[in-house]
Each structure stands twice: as structure tokens, then as C-alpha cells.
Amino acid sequence: MWRMPKLADHEERRARIVAALLRIAASRGLHAASMRTVAAEAGVSVSTVQYYFGTKERLLFAGLQHQAEAVGRRIEAGLAANPGGSVRDSLYAWLVQLIPVNEQQRAGYTVFAAYHALALTDPALAEQSYTRGSDELEVVLRALLADAQQAGELSSGRDVGAEAGNLLALATGLADSVMADMRTPEAATALLNYQLDQLFVAASSTSPAAARRP
């Protein structure tokens, strides 16, 4: 029988409990995440959850924070995976990270949707700016588009500020439609590619949108 070392690693314990919370939120819903179910999922007692988070409100808070950081990391990873490519491909690499293409991303989106709905009626949760990542992403998109416009890669008469906002909103809406099972992930990424093809001048688009599907 294994016994816990008496001096525990707080960060590891907290991470384990938060992971249990997010697993439950993704599979059974955030409303099913009680002190008892989270403790059982993490393999600890309720008192341990109390010891590391004090109150359930703080536990939920930690869960949202973890989720927001995870989204931020995934978006950054999307750029790092495409270092030397064109601006168009970089834009695609950023935006496609918002569309849930596998079960893990879908689970993350489920948790995010639950927190989002909760924040709409809970001022304490809304104060935590969990959408800051999106704001930062919009700034990055605008900068990329400005570069492309100066290089003459964009269609004429485009407003880079408006295009950045609309691309982000488009990716968000496409993600919604995938989550609602109105569209397959492949169809959503194809639509995203179509929009980028319209934005960039035709000469730079050497392949049809369908060929870009992963």
C-alpha cells in the first residue's frame, strides 16, 4: 500500500484536482461537478479539495483559469507549428486552432461553453477576463494583415481592422456550428480557407480550397 509523502507538492495536487473538475465538466457537465464528485474523480477526499481550494467558488475559478491558459497555449502552438510560411498560412494556422477538430478540443470547448454560460449571469465569474486571449489574437491578426497589405498580397479596398475582427468572429461562429453538429470540422476548415482565399489576391492562391482540407 502506497502512502503519500507528508510534504505534498501543492502545485501537483491542485493540478490533479483541477484536471478532475475539467474531466467531469467535459463529460457530465459543469453542474455535475460537486465537491464530492470532483474529489472522487481525483481519488482524494472532499477534505483534501477543501484544503487546497477552500471553497467551491475558488475551485471553479481555478478551473476557468486553467482552461483559459490552455486555450492560450494551443493558439501559440498553432503559430509555432508554422514558422516560415506565408502570411496566409500563418493566419490559417492561428484561426484553425479555434475550430474543434478532435475529441480533446471538443471537450475543451464544452467546458468553455459551460463557463461562458455561467459567466453571463455570475458577475464574479465575468470579472475574470477569460476572453483576453481572443483580444490579443485579434491584435496579432491585424498586424499580420497589415504586413500582407503593405506587401500587396491582399485584395484591394480591404480594411485590415475590420478583416481581423471578422476573421476572428468567423472562426468563432464556425466553431459554434461544429459544436452544434451543424457542420463537420472538415467543412468548417474548408469555409475558413474559402474566406482567406477571398481576402488574399487570387494570384497567391495556387490551389483550390478543397485541396487545403486536412
Q: Which parts of this chain interact with a second copy (CB under 8 A)?
A: 26-32, 110, 113-114, 116-118, 120-122, 126, 131, 134-135, 157-159, 162, 165-166, 168-174, 176-177, 179-183, 187-188, 190-191, 194-195, 198, 202, 209
Q: Residue 8 or 210: which CB sits closer to a second copy?
A: 210
Q: If binding is defined by CB under 7 A, does position 125 make contact with DNA? A: no
At 33, which amino acid appears?
A
Partner interacting with residue 195 (select from DNA, a second copy, none; CB below 5-8 Å by kind):
a second copy
CA distance 180 to 16: 30
Q: If binding is defined by CB under 7 A, does position 180 make contact with DNA? A: no
Partner interacting with residue 57 (select from a second copy, DNA, none; CB below 5-8 Å by kind):
DNA
Q: If binding is defined by CB under 7 A, does position 118 make contact with DNA? A: no
Q: If binding is defined by CB under 7 A, does position 202 make contact with DNA? A: no
> Could you tell me the three cell numbers for 100?
474543434
Shortest spacing between CB 23 and DNA, in angstroms: 15
Backbone angles phi and psi of 150, in degrees to 5: -65, -30
Where along the sequence are the contacts to DNA (CB under 7 A)? 3-8, 10, 13, 32, 34-37, 44-48, 50-52, 55-57
